[in-house]
């Protein structure tokens, strides 16, 4: 798993640079955060495959639930163009979650990760 540490407003955020090939990669993301001493994770649009945005795969739900179990504050930046209208509505609702949220822009996501 290719990851890097971003310095953002005096905090370390682990950013996944690899495309995720399935929800089971959550354990790799947890390990990457632990190795780098951070509990904040950024999943930017290039790391999210089409399956993440397909309602019938349950990819997003399974991945985010696994990360929540390890109490990682996780953010995913996505673009409306990546998914259908119905799924975009679902992702917007997910912005209210405590441990993981989904944003339209990377800067919004990093600002949220900074809050805690």
pLDDT tens-digit readout, 41-72: 999 888 988 888 777 888 888 998 899 899 89
Q: Where are the domains of the chain?
A: 3-109
Instruction: Give the model's pLDDT for residue 29.
Output: 95
Written as one string, the DSSP assignment of the chain is --EEEEEETTEEEEEE-SPP-SGGGHHHHHHHHHHHT--EEEE-GGGS-GGGG-GGG-HHHHHHHHHHHTT-EEEEE--GGGS-HHHHHHHHHGGG-SSEEEESSHHHHHHHHHT-
Residue 115 banded pLDDT, cuts 50, 70, 90: confident
Domain 3-109 has CATH 2.60.120: no
- 63-109: per-residue pLDDT in tens? 988 998 998 988 877 665 566 677 667 666 766 667 777 777 788 88
- 8-18: per-residue pLDDT in tens? 888 899 999 99
């Amino acid at each position: 798993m290719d990851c890097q540490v971003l310095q953002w407003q005096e905090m370390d955020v682990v950013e996944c640079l690899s495309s995720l090939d399935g929800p089971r990669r959550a354990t790799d993301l947890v390990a990457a955060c632990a190795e780098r001493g951070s509990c904040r994770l950024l999943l930017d649009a290039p790391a999210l495959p089409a399956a993440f945005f397909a309602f019938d795969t349950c990819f997003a739900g399974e991945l985010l639930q696994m990360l929540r179990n390890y109490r990682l504050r996780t953010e995913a930046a996505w673009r409306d163009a990546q998914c259908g209208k119905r799924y975009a509505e679902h992702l917007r609702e997910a912005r209210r979650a405590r441990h993981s949220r989904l944003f339209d822009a990377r800067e919004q996501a990093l600002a949220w990760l900074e809050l805690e």
